[in-house]
Amino acid sequence: MKLFMLFLPWTFALLSSSFASTSPSVVERIFRVQNLRIKRLCNERVIVAVNGQFPGPNINVREGDTVIVHLLNEGPYNITIHWHGVFQLFSAWADGPEYVTQCTISPGNKYTYKFNVTQQEGTLWWHAHASVLRATVHGAFIIQPRSGLFPFSKPYKQVPIILGDWYDANVVDVETQALASGGAPNVSNAFTINGLPGDLFNCSRSQTFKMKVKQGRTYMLRMINAALNNDLFFKIANHNFTVVAVDASYTERYDTDIIVIAPGQSADVLFTANQPNGSYYMVASPYVVNLPDFDTNIARGTVIYDNALPSSEPLMPILPPFNDTDTAFKFYTNVTSKVGAPHWVPVPLKVDEHMLITIGFSLELCDSKNASNKTCAGEFGDRYSASMNNESFAIPAGIKMSMLEAFYNNVSGVYTTDFPDKPTLNFDFTNLDNAYNKSLLYAPKSTKAKKLNFNSTVEIVFQNTAFLEGQNHPMHLHGYDFHVLAQGFGNFNNDTDRAKFNLVNPQLRNTVGVPLGGWAVIRFQADNPGVWLMHCHMEDHVPWGLAMTFEVGNGPTPSTSVPPPPTDLPKC
């Protein structure tokens, strides 16, 4: 097992904005997953990282390129990599979620991810999709337009801004202890901007991200929320932003003084250095509702004008309250797609599959074999769990192959295709009187998929529930973008809320925030065969079971079907 020290400058590399070619190329990289010794918050910790970097290396490609990444697992844990938001058109074997599209890559072994990047431009990211390793194993995945032209004026520079968090402990141990007790994991100790907590923390004044800017120039911030469990607000003192893309889909220009970004989401944001020469704090702060215990710290970086005096004290922005739902909801619902932009697709109007999926917390008996003699750290002495339509997702112990392998080889017994289209019980989903109703709280563990025909159109109403008082849930779909038709509060009303649907220019996303006490409606066309995970991107909620899968059937030809698995596909 190798141990590496990190020697990187605290400034983050700017991406050249002149990145154009008329023909696709092959982008090939080696990812070495290794232990890395790193110092944060006065303490040295050993983390898992890629190529000795935290955050990991950026991958910068052009639309149409082929990407080949050779992953060598030289670390201590099983791992996979997910290319978050990349469609993986007819390359499902490269998607990465453990036991869904592949078995994990064990220490000392390797796997090559190979896929094309087509019909997408903008900012996505890659991260570990096994255990909680994405806390430190992640990086930007940036897709430049092949022409080099954007549907807006070309920015002077492009700057990746990865918002994350830091655990002053071994994050795998944090998860393991929580799963053993049945309770909630400890919260993070700091938020970070490009891996750095900023000058509010002990021993961290030199660990502050610094962005140098030129007066009058416009910069594109390629923003990613890699934090495990928090929506985040982001502001730069005295500066405004223009959102031009979300989740690698172009948007109408949306002007704002604050960015709100959920775990898993990304955004391309323009900002112009149009203030007096000086220094200005950029700040990431949590947006949290209904959590008694969360990381209340903020991360700070600095924007420094070229001619700023070295002694100038940065200005601090005015931050919203942690629970400012009005500001968050305004941002999340005001963004619209740019009709006619590259890779824009209209909303499919004929719907083949209608689904109402309740999402939220639930409980699991502390010890199903002997519940009366054991107490866990969850509510009523049981384990915290989570479910969708009263099904709590879990891969069965002793699995011999991934779900995708079972689909490809027509093997039964790995999963079933009876995920329900609607909840088993109809009740007042958002009524807090049901928050601790024991007759509703316990959901069975299962490994279920919803079966879809190739090219069918699916509409999903995500309905958040008040179980255990609830929380926001950013729902992420692998393999697809989807149109976000509407979002709202209360119980979705099929008779009145459909009038709110935007069928003209709704935002296209791969991750949508479903608000506490509310709902969101999405629609997508199932034109990519395979087995695709849909789950909450709050990392704590995934091992609890807030997930399900879609089994999308093959198309009519070999070119519209799942290809054979790679010869080096990891074995369970």
**Which whole number is the average pLDDT over 87-105?**
98
**Which whole number is the average pLDDT over 177-182?**
95
Choice among 19-23, 73-77, 207-211, 268-272 with the minimum mean pLDDT? 19-23
In this prediction, residue 5 carries a pLDDT of 40
pLDDT in tens, 100-132: 999 999 999 999 999 999 999 999 999 999 999
Q: Is 204 exposed, middle or buried (0-12, 13-18, 19+ CB in 10 A)?
A: buried
**CATH T-level fold of 19-147:** Immunoglobulin-like (2.60.40)
In this prediction, residue 21 carries a pLDDT of 52
DSSP string of 261-309, one letter each residue: E-TT-EEEEEEE--S-SSEEEEEEEEE-SS-SS-----EEEEEEETT--
**Which whole number is the average pLDDT over 249-255?**
98
Three-state SS letters, 25-59: CEEEEEEEEEEEEEEECCEEEEEEEECCECCCCCE
In this prediction, residue 292 carries a pLDDT of 72
**Which whole number is the average pLDDT over 210-235?**
98
CB atoms within 10 A of CB 1: 10
Spans of all domains in the chain = 19-147, 151-328, 353-560
In this prediction, residue 103 carries a pLDDT of 98
Is the confidence at residue 483, as pLDDT, over 90?
A: yes
Is the confidence at residue 291, as pLDDT, over 80?
A: no
**Which whole number is the average pLDDT over 402-422?**
97
Is the confidence at residue 519, as pLDDT, over 70?
A: yes
Residue 294: band (very low, low, confident or very high) from pLDDT cuts 50, 70, 90: confident
**Which whole number is the average pLDDT over 41-64?**
98
Residue 15: band (very low, low, confident or very high) from pLDDT cuts 50, 70, 90: low
- In this chain, the answer to whether the domains covering 19-147 and 353-560 adopt an identical fold is yes
**Which whole number is the average pLDDT over 280-299?**
89
* Of the candidates 220, 212, 263, 227, the residue with the CA atom closest to the CA atom of residue 243: 220
Is the confidence at residue 495, as pLDDT, over 70?
A: yes
* Of the candidates 281, 442, 283, 268, the residue with the CA atom closest to the CA atom of residue 360: 442
How high is the mean pLDDT of the chain?
94
- C-alpha to C-alpha distance for 248 and 270, rounded to whole angstroms: 14
In this prediction, residue 2 carries a pLDDT of 42
- Say whether the peptide bond before residue 9 is cis (omega within 30 degrees of 0): no
Share of the chain above pLDDT 70, in %: 95
CA R_g for the chain: 23
Is the confidence at residue 8, as pLDDT, over 60?
A: no
Q: CATH number of the domain at 353-560, please? A: 2.60.40.420
In this prediction, residue 9 carries a pLDDT of 37
pTM for this entry: 0.95
pLDDT in tens, 418-452: 999 999 899 999 999 999 999 999 999 999 999 99
- C-alpha to C-alpha distance for 396 and 414, rounded to whole angstroms: 8
Residue 295: band (very low, low, confident or very high) from pLDDT cuts 50, 70, 90: confident
Does the domain formed by 151-328 have CATH 2.60.40.420? Answer: yes
